[in-house]
């Protein structure tokens, strides 16, 4: 089936909704049939260009409310640039609804569903991944067609080389979310206090015990804190493959190495493990004040950005563990009741386009690694990526490998529960 | 007609409250059809009490909430007893009363900047005295026992009690009573606590309840100042509602009901306690003890008490000063006492946006407080009937008035979900009126709480005088009652504004996250990494309420000076 079939259906369905409101159902059904026919009869090559145009036509003048975390000035100004671009290219007005927590938008979509608002919702595009995607998807709060696979820019990705593009935390995306960027757990240390950082879980344990009070992690179930636990889990276990499937009766035995590790280091953590930073931003602040020597973040450019904002001293450098660190992909998704789905798809397509990904990867702007495949670039494009500036505390693509795959999400829930019971009671 | 107006106010305020409560009670009892549960069960409660650390969390909430309330009340009363009437101490009240208007979160951020191991105090003495060239690994801010949270709450609630106490005292002939008790051989402190205190305690009942409820349910301050292994119950509820797993909402709702129960129990406990203390006072007076103490000892006691009272307040003020420094710091590393480089790097808000934010906050705050004030005055005035001496028969049940306070008693995250569903169903989600409405739900109860006692204690003889002189009802209201009550009205207005200015979640929920105020921006900035930005956020948040408070106080002093001799 042609990749654009669903794109073609999208405006059809939307138009159907609108015409139905006007009472012109018959016309709408005709329109839908036409769309279906197009998909089934291989008009495709002719139809593609025209439906892409129709899509742009439908999107023109739409206002897309993009609900995305707004706590980072770099990301905000990047989204501001995207808004300028889509305005110029498609006549779309992109409004960044700055969230403090993605839960705010999830809760709003849920409330709309409870209240029976099946169209004209307040969220058009939402920045998600992992657990939030799983929840939105399970509760039927997302648009269910495979729109993301049909975006023209998706052609530039290579899901075979990067399976995370189509499986988000072991859950198939089924085209309900479109990849935006890559995140990897990266450690940062202050070289003023530490010459050579510990590059494995075992070395980190010894270092913490030798330097009490200079390390901590955000309190699980904070996302970054839980990710750190998973990182240690994957490094201390001798059966890494076991974590790709859900836990069963033998879970305790598989988690034992992690909790032994934690039991050993906890008394030597920052504040003796009696309290933990609330989130990773607080942990980064502690690094800036010299309270801790090592911190970590889920964005490879975090430490360079923090240095340029004077949050961290310029002696901070980053590194990853020898065995590799956890990596995942973040996406954008469209809620089931979005008011401007066509506009949202065009924005998602633009976010994935070469131009937008190139700018995003620039660490002076954001420094978020691209989800596009290098192999699919032409020479000039490769050169453009290779010429990107890198911050003093940023690692190169080569230094960032290997990456560890996320364990099955049920493990995370289990680890969080056990952590609460052991360290927060 | 009168009851019609009251009923309208009640409906406007109660319908959203009911929607909010439904949003808590239904999931708490296991009903949320969309999430696949539609039968009533107590499973959520079993799950709640099986949560690790839940009992510890409840105890932590009770401990911090109750201790903070009792200590701030006692300190405020002592401060009033020591200083009331002494002209030279006016400046002291002036110093602490603006603290009232500053959002709790600002005080918390300030205390963190001041007291944590890398904070200003340690910087002041390091490395010269301590030898620390890096922050020490000390368990302070947050500490293990929630003491920092208690200090933070006291710093905020002490000024509130002092202000409420002062306005209660203005209704009493303090000098007369003290002269009488002195003539009977009681010392100043004994006279104060046996005669004056029981009189103001009755007038402060509602204020105590506000503080108690707030301290038991505070989230923003607790996230910064309370320990998190486990955190207090209120913070746990907040996290459950933020959890990506929507099933956690069942536990969260059950916990919200549980918290409501605890709050009501604590309020009942306070009533019982104050009743017993009243009995004790009567018993002491009946015994005829004079409770005298040597003069030297008394001086010493007063000085000691004064220092204890002022300590949390001074810490809060110094904390805010350190947030100001952070707001204008560019580079400030440990252990420097002052920033190495000044700058506006932390602001990250351009002047255009800043002007919009100020305008939005100002408009919302002024409208919400003005609207709530009008509603509160209508409610109180019409509720008292023509003859204020009789307890006017009242078709709006007392339960209705209790409902108005419910938004303050239940956790905001839980409550607002139901409210949001209502707004969507009414097709008014995201419009300005809805945001205003949501704000009024929280501003109105505070205005009622700070105004109603004064209003009901209004000396009816002024009214009667005017009536005898032939003034009609409107004239008496406009030209006699309102001017005499002018100062409490202005102060309640400023309190209402401060409440509105600090509201984060209601603005986000009702405004679909699209309506930006200084507070939404500050919370957003605070989730970014830098202390510079956090300082700027704190500064932004205290700017408006402080200004309004100073203006209100100035107005009160200038405009209503000539009414100062009136007792209410």
- Flag whether pLDDT at A229 surpasses 90: yes
Chain A window 80-109: which residues touch B at a Cβ cutoff of 8 Å? 95, 97-108
Q: Using the beta-carbon criterion (under 8 Å), do A311 and B532 form an inter-chain contact? A: yes
Mean pLDDT for the stretch of residues A191-206? 95
pLDDT computed for residue A21 by the predictor: 45
With CA atoms as reference, the chain A residue closest to B54 would be A425
The CATH number that domain A61-182+328-386 falls under is 3.40.190.10
Q: Cα(B274)–Cα(B276) distance, rounded to whole angstroms?
A: 5
Q: Return the closest-CA partner of residue B65 out of B165, B172, B153.
A: B153
Three-state SS at B37:
strand
Q: The complex's ipTM?
A: 0.86
Q: Using the beta-carbon criterion (under 8 Å), do B514 and A97 form an inter-chain contact? A: yes
As given in the structure block, the two tokens for residue B138 are: 């000390």
Q: State pLDDT tens for residues B265-320.
A: 999 999 999 999 999 999 988 888 877 766 777 778 778 877 888 888 899 999 99
pLDDT computed for residue B1 by the predictor: 64
Q: Are B163 and B79 in contact (CB under 8 A)?
A: no
pLDDT computed for residue A46 by the predictor: 40
Q: Are A14 and A59 in contact (CB under 8 A)?
A: no
Q: Point out which residues pair with A64 in neighbouring strands.
A: A94
pLDDT level of residue B259 (50, 70, 90 thresholds): very high
pLDDT level of residue B254 (50, 70, 90 thresholds): very high
Q: State pLDDT tens for residues A57-69.
A: 899 999 999 999 9
Q: Using the beta-carbon criterion (under 8 Å), do B241 and A425 form an inter-chain contact? A: no
- Flag whether pLDDT at A4 surpasses 50: no
Mean pLDDT for the stretch of residues B177-198? 88
DSSP conformational letter for A311: S
With CA atoms as reference, the chain A residue closest to B245 would be A135
Mean pLDDT across chain B: 86
Mean pLDDT for the stretch of residues A134-138? 91
Q: Domain-by-domain residue ranges, chain A? A: 1-59, 61-182+328-386, 186-327+401-423
Nearest-CA distance A238 → chain B (Å): 29
As given in the structure block, the two tokens for residue B410 are: 């239940």
Mean pLDDT for the stretch of residues A72-80? 91
pLDDT computed for residue B567 by the predictor: 56
Mean pLDDT for the stretch of residues A46-71? 82
pLDDT computed for residue B287 by the predictor: 86
Q: State pLDDT tens for residues A151-171.
A: 999 999 999 988 889 988 888
pLDDT level of residue A401 (50, 70, 90 thresholds): confident
Q: Using the beta-carbon criterion (under 8 Å), do B244 and A423 form an inter-chain contact? A: no
Q: Using the beta-carbon criterion (under 8 Å), do B34 and A116 form an inter-chain contact? A: no
Question: Using a CB-CB distance cutoff of 8 angstroms, which residues of chain B are in contact with residue A120?
Answer: none
- Flag whether pLDDT at B164 surpasses 90: no
- In the CATH scheme, what architecture does the domain B45-100+148-317 have? Orthogonal Bundle (1.10)
Which of B425, B529, B532, B534 is the mutation pick for testing A, counting most A CBs within 10 A? B529
Q: Using the beta-carbon criterion (under 8 Å), do B137 and A134 form an inter-chain contact? A: no
Does B45-100+148-317 match B1-41+347-568 at the fold level? Answer: yes
Q: Which residue has the tokens 């209705």?
A: B400
Q: Cα(B535)–Cα(B526) distance, rounded to whole angstroms?
A: 9
Three-state SS at A376:
helix
pLDDT computed for residue A49 by the predictor: 52
Give the Cα-Cα-Cα angle B76, B77, B81 (nearest 5 degrees).
120
Mean pLDDT for the stretch of residues B461-475? 89
Q: Return the closest-CA partner of residue B429 out of A370, A339, A302.
A: A339
Q: What are phi and psi of B11, to 5 degrees?
A: -65, -45
pLDDT level of residue B66 (50, 70, 90 thresholds): very high
- Flag whether pLDDT at A25 surpasses 60: no
Q: Using the beta-carbon criterion (under 8 Å), do B333 and A70 form an inter-chain contact? A: no
Which of B112, B117, B244 is the mutation pick for testing A, counting most A CBs within 10 A? B244
Q: Cα(A272)–Cα(B18) distance, rounded to whole angstroms?
A: 45
Contact A159/B at CB under 8 A: no
pLDDT computed for residue B409 by the predictor: 81
- Flag whether pLDDT at A283 surpasses 80: yes
Write the DSSP string, A92-158.
Answer: -EEEEEEESSHHHHHHHHHHHHHTT--SSBS-SEEEE-HHHHHHHHHTT-B--S-GGGGSGGGGG--
Q: State pLDDT tens for residues A355-373.
A: 999 999 998 899 899 999 9
Q: Return the closest-CA partner of residue A331 out of A109, A134, A158, A122.
A: A134
Nearest to A101 among B227, B228, B242 (CB): B242
pLDDT computed for residue B304 by the predictor: 84
Q: State pLDDT tens for residues B310-360.
A: 888 899 999 999 999 999 998 898 888 999 989 888 787 777 888 999 999
Contact A313/B at CB under 8 A: yes
pLDDT computed for residue A50 by the predictor: 58
pLDDT computed for residue A373 by the predictor: 92
pLDDT computed for residue B563 by the predictor: 66
pLDDT computed for residue A53 by the predictor: 83
Superfamily of domain A186-327+401-423: Periplasmic binding protein-like II (3.40.190.10)
pLDDT level of residue A28 (50, 70, 90 thresholds): very low
pLDDT level of residue A16 (50, 70, 90 thresholds): very low
B561 vs B160, residue with greater confidence: B160
As given in the structure block, the two tokens for residue A60 are: 């023109």
DSSP-H helix ranges across B84-142 = 90-96, 104-115, 120-125
- In the CATH scheme, what architecture does the domain B1-41+347-568 have? Orthogonal Bundle (1.10)
Three-state SS at A188:
strand
Q: State pLDDT tens for residues B3-52.
A: 788 888 888 888 898 999 999 999 999 888 888 888 888 889 999 999 98
pLDDT computed for residue A410 by the predictor: 85
Percent of chain B with pLDDT over 70: 93
Q: How would you classify the pairing of strands A325-333 and A403-404?
A: parallel
Q: Domain-by-domain residue ranges, chain B? A: 1-41+347-568, 45-100+148-317
pLDDT level of residue A11 (50, 70, 90 thresholds): very low
pLDDT computed for residue B271 by the predictor: 92
Question: Using a CB-CB distance cutoff of 8 angstroms, which residues of chain A are in contact with residue B239?
Answer: 221
Q: Return the closest-CA partner of residue A122 out of B514, B505, B419.
A: B514
Chain A window 51-80: which residues touch B at a Cβ cutoff of 8 Å? 65, 67, 69-73
Mean pLDDT for the stretch of residues B153-165? 89
Kindly list the distances between the CA atom of residue A359 and the CA atoms of A49, A289, A388, in Å, as whole numbers in the listed order: 27, 31, 9
pLDDT level of residue B89 (50, 70, 90 thresholds): low
Q: Which residue has the tokens 């906890």?
A: A266
Q: State pLDDT tens for residues B382-438.
A: 875 444 444 444 445 566 777 788 888 888 888 899 999 999 999 998 899 999 999
């Amino acid at each position: 089936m042609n990749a654009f079939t669903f794109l073609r259906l999208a405006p059809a369905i939307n138009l159907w909704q609108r015409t139905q409101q006007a009472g012109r159902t018959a016309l709408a059904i005709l329109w839908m049939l036409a769309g279906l026919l197009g998909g089934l009869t291989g008009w495709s090559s002719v139809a593609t260009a025209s439906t892409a145009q129709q899509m742009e036509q439908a999107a023109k003048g739409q206002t897309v409310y993009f609900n995305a975390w707004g706590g980072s000035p770099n990301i905000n100004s990047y989204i501001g640039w995207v808004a300028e671009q889509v305005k110029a290219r498609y006549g779309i007005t992109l409004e960044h609804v700055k969230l403090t927590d993605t839960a705010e938008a999830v809760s709003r979509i849920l409330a709309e569903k409870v209240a029976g608002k099946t169209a004209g919702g307040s969220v058009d595009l939402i920045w998600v991944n992992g657990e939030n995607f799983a929840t939105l998807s399970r509760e039927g709060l997302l648009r269910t067609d495979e729109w993301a696979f049909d975006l023209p820019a998706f052609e530039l990705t290579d899901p075979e080389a990067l399976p995370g593009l189509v499986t988000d935390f072991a859950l198939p995306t089924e085209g309900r979310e479109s990849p935006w960027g890559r995140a990897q757990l990266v450690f940062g240390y202050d070289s003023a206090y530490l010459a050579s950082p510990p590059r494995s879980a075992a070395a980190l344990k010894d270092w913490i015990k030798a330097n009490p009070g200079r390390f901590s992690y955000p309190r699980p179930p904070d996302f970054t804190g839980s990710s750190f636990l998973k990182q240690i889990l994957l490094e201390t276990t001798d059966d890494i493959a076991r974590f790709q499937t859900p836990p069963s009766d033998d879970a305790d035995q598989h988690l034992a190495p992690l909790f032994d590790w934690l039991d050993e280091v906890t008394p030597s953590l920052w504040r003796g493990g009696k309290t933990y930073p609330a989130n990773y931003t607080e942990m980064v602040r502690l690094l800036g004040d010299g309270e801790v020597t090592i911190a970590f973040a889920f964005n490879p450019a975090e430490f360079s950005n923090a240095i340029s904002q004077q949050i961290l001293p310029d002696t901070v450098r980053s590194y990853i563990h020898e065995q590799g660190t956890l990596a995942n992909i973040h996406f954008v998704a469209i809620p089931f009741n979005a008011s401007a789905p066509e506009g949202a798809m065009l924005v998602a397509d633009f976010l994935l386009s070469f131009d937008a990904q190139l700018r995003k990867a620039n660490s002076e702007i954001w420094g978020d690694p691209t989800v596009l495949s290098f192999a699919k670039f032409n020479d000039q494009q490769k050169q453009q990526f290779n010429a990107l500036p890198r911050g003093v505390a940023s690692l190169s693509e080569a230094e960032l490998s290997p990456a560890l795959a996320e364990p099955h999400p049920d493990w995370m829930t289990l680890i969080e529960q056990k952590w609460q019971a052991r360290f927060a009671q | 007609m009168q009851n019609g107006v009251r009923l309208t106010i009640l409906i406007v305020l109660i319908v959203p409250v009911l929607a909010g409560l439904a949003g808590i009670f239904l999931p708490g009892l296991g009903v949320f059809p969309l999430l696949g549960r539609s039968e009533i069960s107590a499973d959520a409660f079993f799950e709640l009490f099986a949560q690790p650390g839940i009992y510890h969390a409840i105890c932590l909430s009770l401990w911090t909430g109750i201790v903070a309330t009792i200590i701030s009340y006692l300190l405020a009363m002592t401060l009033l007893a020591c200083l009331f009437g002494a002209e030279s101490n006016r400046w002291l009240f002036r110093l602490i009363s603006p603290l009232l208007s500053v959002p709790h979160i600002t005080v918390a951020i300030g205390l963190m900047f001041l007291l944590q191991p890398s904070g200003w105090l340690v910087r002041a003495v390091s490395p010269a005295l301590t030898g620390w060239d890096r922050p020490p690994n000390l368990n302070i801010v947050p500490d293990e026992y929630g003491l920092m949270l208690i200090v933070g709450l006291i710093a905020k609630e002490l000024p509130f009690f002092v202000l409420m106490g002062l306005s209660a005292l203005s209704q009493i002939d303090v000098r007369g009573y003290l002269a009488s008790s002195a003539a009977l051989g009681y010392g100043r402190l004994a006279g104060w606590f046996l005669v004056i205190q029981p009189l103001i305690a009755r007038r402060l009942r509602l204020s105590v309840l506000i503080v108690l409820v707030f301290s038991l349910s505070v989230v923003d301050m607790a996230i910064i100042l309370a320990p998190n292994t486990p955190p207090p119950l209120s913070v746990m509820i907040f996290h459950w509602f933020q959890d990506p797993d929507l099933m956690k909402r069942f536990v969260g709702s059950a916990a919200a009901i549980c918290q409501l129960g605890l709050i009501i129990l604590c309020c009942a406990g306070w009533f019982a306690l104050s009743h017993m203390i009243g009995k004790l006072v009567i018993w002491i007076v009946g015994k005829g003890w004079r409770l005298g103490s040597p003069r030297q000892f008394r001086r010493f006691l007063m000085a000691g008490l004064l220092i204890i009272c002022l300590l949390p307040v001074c810490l809060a003020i110094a904390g805010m000063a350190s947030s100001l420094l952070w707001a204008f710091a560019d580079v400030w590393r440990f252990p420097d006492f002052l920033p190495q480089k000044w700058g506006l790097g932390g602001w990250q808000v351009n002047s255009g946006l800043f002007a919009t934010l100020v305008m939005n906050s100002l408009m919302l705050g002024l409208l919400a407080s003005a609207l709530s004030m009008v509603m509160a005055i209508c409610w109180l005035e019409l509720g008292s009937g023509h003859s204020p001496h009789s307890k006017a028969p009242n078709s709006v049940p007392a339960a209705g008035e209790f409902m108005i306070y419910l938004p303050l008693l239940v956790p905001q995250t839980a409550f607002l979900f139901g409210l949001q569903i209502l707004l969507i169903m009414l097709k008014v989600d995201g419009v300005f009126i809805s945001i205003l409405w949501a704000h009024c739900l929280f501003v109105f109860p505070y205005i009622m709480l700070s105004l109603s006692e004064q209003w009901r204690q209004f000396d009816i003889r002024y009214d009667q005088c005017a009536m005898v002189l032939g003034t009609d009802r409107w004239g008496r209201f406009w030209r006699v009652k309102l001017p005499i009550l002018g100062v409490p009205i202005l102060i309640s207005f400023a309190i209402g504004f401060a409440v509105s200015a600090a509201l984060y979640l209601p603005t986000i929920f009702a405004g679909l996250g699209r309506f930006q105020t200084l507070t939404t921006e500050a919370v957003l900035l605070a989730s970014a990494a830098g202390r510079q930005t956090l300082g700027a956020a704190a500064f932004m948040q205290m700017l408006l309420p402080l200004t309004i408070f100073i203006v209100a106080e100035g107005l009160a002093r200038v405009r209503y000076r000539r009414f100062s001799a009136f007792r209410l």
